[in-house]
Amino acid sequence: MDRNLPIGLFAVLAAALVGSAWQLISRHGVTTTLGPLDIALLRYGIPALLLCPFLFGQQRVAAKAPRMALVLLVIGGGLPFGLLVLAGAQWAPASHMGIFMAGSLPLFTAIGARIHKGEKVQGVRLAGLCCIAIGMALFAVGSFQPGSLSWRGDLLFLAAAMLWAVYSLAFGHCGLTPWQGAAFVNGWSTLLLLPLLPLLWFTGTPRLLGAPWPDVALQAVGQGVVAGVLGLVAYAAAISHLGAARASLSAAAVPVLTTLGAASFMGEPITAAVLLALTLVVPGIVLASGVRIR
């Protein structure tokens, strides 16, 4: 067995747990006391401070990395991605986030690999992608309710998944270690966020200043430490050891974990549409990842 496989699979599991937890606390945050920009400040500002040594110590590496790969790294895994997710979480339930983001990630990754590297998807992987597409289509139809605006969040989740696929492919060409990549993405995302902060004052007092401290603490730890540092490092490690396509296997557990978590902690119902989607999307992600354990 490839010695990279156990490490890669451990990183995949860690990324799945972090990804699901991040989705749940993001949905909780934007539907209770905080707004997307408030949470984004915690999500990127805290890890940027924590990872400063890696950011300043990796300039020689970054200087040798392709500029386009570094730009796509920040766009795909940084502030643009985060704002799309946080905005979508205001409209759609957490279960939608898990299914649409995790489910569409292998689809967008496969499309990106086809465009960038000319990789063909055949056999079992193609069958998996078809299962994902059918499952998400049926879920979109089954969960639609007249007058509901959750479709807005669903579209934003799909856009966010497309950006994350870009991040997955770009990381493989940037030449950075997982820790350096996390420092680079969070550092530049914080710089991009600074010009947007005056919007908090023009639209009213920042919620971050008036929110209950337990809510702020939850988001600071969950967004800034768990997702901002551990999540990026775990997923980058999975890419390093398994490749972008196989690292997307981490998405298989996310819809289930997020759906169960949302039902347990937020009271979101597990509908027939959700169960049908999970039945198709989760096996589809596993097949589409192409992982074979000998």
pLDDT tens digits in sequence order for the chain, 294 residues long: 455 678 888 888 898 899 899 999 999 999 998 989 999 999 999 999 988 887 765 455 555 678 888 899 999 999 999 999 999 999 999 999 999 998 888 888 888 877 777 777 778 888 888 999 999 998 988 777 777 788 899 999 999 999 998 998 888 778 788 888 888 899 999 999 988 888 766 666 667 878 899 999 999 999 999 998 888 888 888 888 877 667 767 778 899 999 999 999 999 999 888 999 999 999 998 888 765 544
Nearest partner of 75 among 224, 157, 192, 239, judged by Cα: 192
Is the CB of residue 187 less than 8 Å from the CB of residue 59? Answer: no
Residue-level pLDDT at 290: 65
Residue-level pLDDT at 179: 83
d(C-alpha 52, C-alpha 248), whole Å? 28
Question: To 10 degrees, what angle do helices 178-193 and 232-242 make?
Answer: 140
Rounded to two decimals, what is the model's pTM? 0.87
Q: Which ranges in 51-149 belong to alpha helices (H)? A: 52-57, 59-64, 67-77, 79-89, 94-117, 123-142
d(C-alpha 236, C-alpha 224), whole Å? 17
